[in-house]
Structure 1
Amino acid sequence: MTWEQRVLEGDPKFESSQKIPNVSYHRFAQLIGLRGIFVDDPEQMGPAWDEALSSNIPVVLEVKTDPEVPPLPPHITMQQARNFSLSLLKGDPSERRTFSGAVRQALAAVLPSEK
């Protein structure tokens, strides 16, 4: 939710809303009879989605990501980019890391990969 607040409204990060329990969600899913898949390497995403989508039971797909890299939509508007930048200037505790992650993500979308 913090990213929506930051991109849509330009609000700074609200730390209290970012603390969630460190639970193994994929293992919990397995305990209750669901399929649980854990991904901590980007190379595993394709096979994990294939497994999840081919499952005949509900699936919990737990993906370990960097919480400081915003999930930018493929088509961000100038207003959203402005709001996001303003939110960082309002006192984000991880300002540099968040900004550099966003830049890397945006560049990866337009520059050829090393593969």
Structure 2
Amino acid sequence: MAVDPRCVVAELSARLPDRAVVVTDSGSALDWWTRHLELRDGMRSALSGHLATPGAAVSYALAARLALPDRTVVALVGDGALQAGGMNELITVRRHLERLADLRPTIFCVLNNEDLSRLTWERRTAAQNPRIPVTGEVPAVSYAQYARLLGLPGTCCDRPGAVGTVWEDALAARGPMLLEFMVDGDTPPDWAESRRAEPRAGAWAGSPFGS
């Protein structure tokens, strides 16, 4: 059963501790972070500027953890971004595990839909067509198992009713960990949903930034 990605971020938002740091990657993770996560006073954030190098959020999170050891750190990463570079950076996290183990949690939240979701939705909104097989597919990988292979705690969640509990357990823990949520790739980002309903003449409807 797939989880609504909006639910994953909303359930996190409702439980974020004070002064938390939340970073996000390029791709659809940025869409959910922008629309469904509330940052309160005292929190800090960073994102992949101009949709830069995919997988950057893993490095951002590790840098935040080393710079701010007394804060909870959460990174939102899509599966495509993690495969593009983030999986290598998890090895760096493992290298510093002894140093990080007793600190507040550093949570790498992977939104796994086995698809390059932002690019897929740009094409789907532009062409008004369903997803085109193969063109945006991401190879199937168990990221929770990969984390455990490295010696990091890894949890996989595919039940909507368990999302809140998974976040509560992770936020109450210590050290780095990876949460893998099996999310629905057919859930459109808010910009894609509105543009599908009201396509703009003369503009590339697939771009979230307009013409």
TM range (shorter): 0.5 to 0.7
- The higher relative CO (CA closer than 8 Å, separation ≥ 6) is in 1
Aligned partner (choices 187, 200, 205) of residue 69 of structure 1: 187
C-alpha RMSD over aligned residues? 2.9
Question: Pick from 133, 136, 153: which aligns with 1:18?
Answer: 136
Cα offset, 1:56, TM superposition: 1.4
Matched, 1:59 2:172: no
The number of aligned residues is 79
SS of 1:11's equivalent? Answer: helix
What residue ranges of structure 2 are gaps of 5+ in the alignment? 1-117, 200-211
Q: Offset at 1:60?
A: 1.5
Distance 1:47 1:86 in 2: 37
Deviations 1:8-48, CA, capped at 9 Å, x for gaps: xx424565552111111001111112221111111110111
Q: Kindly state the Cα deviation for residue 5 of structure 1 after the two structures are TM-superposed.
A: 2.6
| Per-residue Cα deviation, 1:28-84 (whole angstroms, up to 9, x for no partner) | 1111122211111111101111122222122211111222122x45xx6xxx54413
The 2-side partners of 1:82 and 1:69 are apart by 13
**Any residues of structure 2 matched to 1:94-109 within 5 Å, and which?**
none
Give the AA of the match of 1:62: E
Aligned 8 A contact 1:37 1:61 in 2:
yes
- Quick one: which amino acid aligns to residue 119 of structure 2? T
Distance 2:132 2:179 in 1: 26
User: Runs of 4 or more off by more than 2 Å in structure 1?
Assistant: 2-7, 10-18, 84-87
Give the share of equivalent positions with the same residue, in percent. Answer: 27
Alpha carbons of structure 1 residues 24 and 81: separation in structure 2 relative to 1, 3 Å: closer
Residue correspondence of structure 1 range 18-57 to structure 2 within 5 A: 18-57=136-175
Aligned 8 A contact 1:6 1:83 in 2:
no
Verify: 1:83 aligned to 2:195, yes or no.
yes
Distance in 2 separating the partners of 1:83 and 1:41: 29
Question: Contact conserved, 1:39 with 1:64, CA < 8 A, in 2?
Answer: yes
> TM (normalized to structure 2)?
0.31
CA distance in 2, matches of 1:16, 1:82: 25
- Call closer, same or farther: CA 1:19–1:4 in 2, change over 3 Å: closer
CA distance in 1, matches of 2:194, 2:126: 11
TM-score (norm 1): 0.52
In the other structure, the counterpart of 2:119 is: 2
